A = this chain, B = another copy of it.
Amino acid sequence: MAEKKSDRTRASILAAARERFGADGYERATIRAIAADAAIDPAMVMRYYGSKEKLFAAAAEFDVRLPDLRGVPREQTGEVLVRHLVERWEEDDTLRVLLRTAVTNESAAERMRQVFIGQLTPAFERAAMDEPAVRAGLIATQALGFALCRYILEFEPIVGLSTDEAVAWLGPTITRYLTAPLPSQV
């Protein structure tokens, strides 16, 4: 009896929650709508997850799973990183949930910071780069901007790009943010 009945409804609630949060954002995704999608009573959502805030926390739980960049030659790091991020983004809508909600929900924004600054910066620090935080931030601007335009705002020219095209365009940008010397201050 590894699989109890409750586990399945628990999971279906979570799936419905991810869908709704990802499509509508935190405020407009109502408990009632999520419950309806999961074909379940709204009270069940409360019983299983305690509150909307906690349900959201469960739905937005995720990990970037950065690839190991140590063996990759300098000039290809951007490509590898972009490809990883894009593929990660396509396969899992948790990131979309996070992006859509981070804009109005402070705790989601904090998690976004943790992921993109908190996880990238130390990785670059280990590689003995100067200003690792700035480089991590710049990479975040391009990566998140791409995700925003592709998945949230749905700009047609960006939606139409294949993974390979996206990698070819964005890769060199990321590589430059990673390797270029600091601009001389003015």
Residues of A within 8 A of B (CB): 24-25, 27-28, 99-100, 102-104, 109, 112-113, 116-117, 131, 133-134, 136-138, 140-146, 148-150, 152-158, 160-162, 164-165, 168-170, 172-173, 176-177, 183-186
Give the residue of B103, B113, B177, B186 whose beta carbon is less than 8 angstroms from that of A103: B103
Give the residue of B116, B134, B149 whose beta carbon is less than 8 angstroms from that of A144: B149
Give the residue of B104, B138, B155, B169 whose beta carbon is less than 8 angstroms from that of A140: B155
Give the residue of B103, B144, B157 whose beta carbon is less than 8 angstroms from that of A25: B103
CA distance A146 to B138 in the complex (A): 8
Q: How many copies, total?
A: 2
Among residues of B, the one whose C-beta sits closest to the C-beta of A145 is B145
Output the least CB separation between A8 and chain B (Å).
Answer: 30
The reply to whether A141 and B140 form a contact with Cβ atoms under 8 Å apart is: no
7 cross-chain CB contacts under 8 A: A109-B154, A116-B155, A134-B160, A134-B161, A137-B158, A141-B150, A141-B170
Contacts of A145 in B (CB 8 A): 140-146, 148
Contacts of A157 in B (CB 8 A): 117, 131, 133-134, 136-138
CA distance A170 to B177 in the complex (A): 9
